[in-house]
């Protein structure tokens, strides 16, 4: 059967589309995107006046390293005063736990005996009509009081008194922990390894509580967000290696790897243009560069991915 004129006209178009399809899935994949980062905003919970700035913008820091120091005089005095209160509370608790000393019990027994002797004497004189009956009653009351004081000392302190002393000591210790934490907050430390991105302080500056004093770029928190057309998605996999270029270093390649691929497609963002402009639907992929201090958030990148080995 001989081909018709319509079939002959369509044949070149089919060949062209077929060739485009082959080119669309051959060679490296080139994608455009932007470097992004997750910054750490560090500051103090208490604030205060800056006494020392220990790092500068661009410095590498390690976790726990001191960045900025605030005045410590007043918080340190509060801590020392609270430690003295704890020593007093501990002494009071020991006193309650051990009970009265033997000397106190002996003194209380002597006071009761003297009061009892007075009671007996005034009672006899009142019976004889020599002394006033009211004076005899007062002596009897004093003797009874001294006897109860002796019994209290001999039986030890009440459990409620001991519990109160324990609770008071615990409260004072918690107060000390609070004040020591405030003292620690006068030194701002780096929470993780990274690089100082922003720090604009000088000694004498006032820092408000809960306000950031520095911005850190944590290690391994710099990545590129790229968009790949749906037609190319099957050629990319997590862990795939790639190389990136930035305008600042046009002759240098920065290696990296794909760390995640979005599960859901989206339309091409207005601020991002893929090199395959014919694709409207794209998938966002996240690429993590190898350690490269020269890279900065906001840089535009062009990444070249080699064919996945999967």
Question: Mean pLDDT for each consecutive 10-residue tract of the chain (310 residues)?
Answer: 42 36 60 85 93 92 94 95 95 78 79 87 81 84 87 71 89 96 95 89 93 86 85 85 89 89 68 51 86 83 72
Residues 61 and 89 occupy one common structural domain: no
Question: What does the pLDDT read at residue 12?
Answer: 39
Number of independent structural domains in the chain: 3
- What pLDDT, on a 0 to 100 scale, did the predictor assign at position 175? 96
Residues 265 and 288 in one domain: yes
CA distance 232 to 23: 11
> What is the per-residue pLDDT for 273?
52
Do 149 and 202 lie in one domain? The reply is no
pTM listed for this prediction:
0.57
Q: Is 15 exposed, middle or buried (0-12, 13-18, 19+ CB in 10 A)?
A: exposed
Which H helix or E strand runs over 109?
Answer: helix 102-128
The domain of 238 spans 28-39+218-305
**Cβ contacts of 298 within 8 Å, gap of 6 or more:** 34, 35, 36
58, 85: one domain:
no
Order across the sheet with 66-70: list the strands: 187-189, 66-70, 48-53, 206-207
278: CATH: 2.40.30.170
DSSP code, position 286: E
Is residue 10 included in any domain, yes or no? Answer: no
146 and 228, same domain (yes or no): no
By the 10 Å C-beta count (0-12 exposed, 13-18 middle, 19+ buried), 109 is classed as middle
- 168, 198, 215 — which closes off a domain? 215
Examine residue 14 and state whether it is found in any structural domain, yes or no. no
């Amino acid at each position: 059967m001989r081909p018709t004129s319509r079939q002959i006209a369509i044949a070149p178009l089919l060949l062209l589309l077929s060739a485009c399809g082959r080119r669309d899935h051959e060679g490296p994949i080139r994608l455009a995107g932007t470097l992004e980062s997750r910054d750490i905003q560090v500051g103090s919970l208490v604030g205060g006046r800056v006494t020392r700035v220990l790092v500068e913008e661009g410095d590498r820091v390690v976790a726990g390293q001191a960045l900025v120091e605030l005045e410590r005089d007043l918080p340190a005095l509060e801590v020392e005063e609270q430690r003295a209160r704890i020593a007093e509370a501990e002494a009071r608790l020991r006193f309650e736990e051990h009970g009265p000393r033997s000397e106190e019990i002996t003194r209380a027994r002597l006071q009761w005996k003297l009061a009892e002797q007075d009671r007996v004497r005034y009672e006899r004189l009142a019976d004889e009509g020599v002394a006033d009956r009211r004076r005899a009653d007062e002596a009897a009351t004093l003797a009874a009081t001294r006897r109860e004081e002796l019994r209290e000392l001999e039986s030890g302190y009440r459990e409620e008194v001991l519990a109160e002393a324990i609770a008071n000591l615990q409260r004072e210790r918690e107060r000390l922990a609070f004040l020591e934490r405030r003292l620690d907050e006068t030194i701002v430390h780096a929470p993780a390894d990274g690089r100082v991105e922003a720090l604009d302080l000088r000694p004498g500056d006032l820092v408000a509580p809960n306000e950031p004093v520095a911005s850190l770029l944590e290690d391994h928190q710099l990545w590129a967000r790229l968009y790949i057309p749906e037609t190319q998605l099957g050629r990319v996999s997590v862990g795939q290696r790639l190389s990136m270029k930035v305008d600042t270093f046009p002759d240098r390649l920065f290696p990296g790897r794909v760390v995640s691929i979005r599960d859901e497609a989206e339309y091409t963002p207005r601020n991002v243009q893929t090199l395959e402009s014919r694709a409207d639907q794209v998938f966002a992929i996240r690429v993590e560069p190898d350690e490269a201090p020269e890279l900065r958030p906001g840089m535009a990148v062009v990444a070249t991915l080699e064919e996945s080995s999967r």
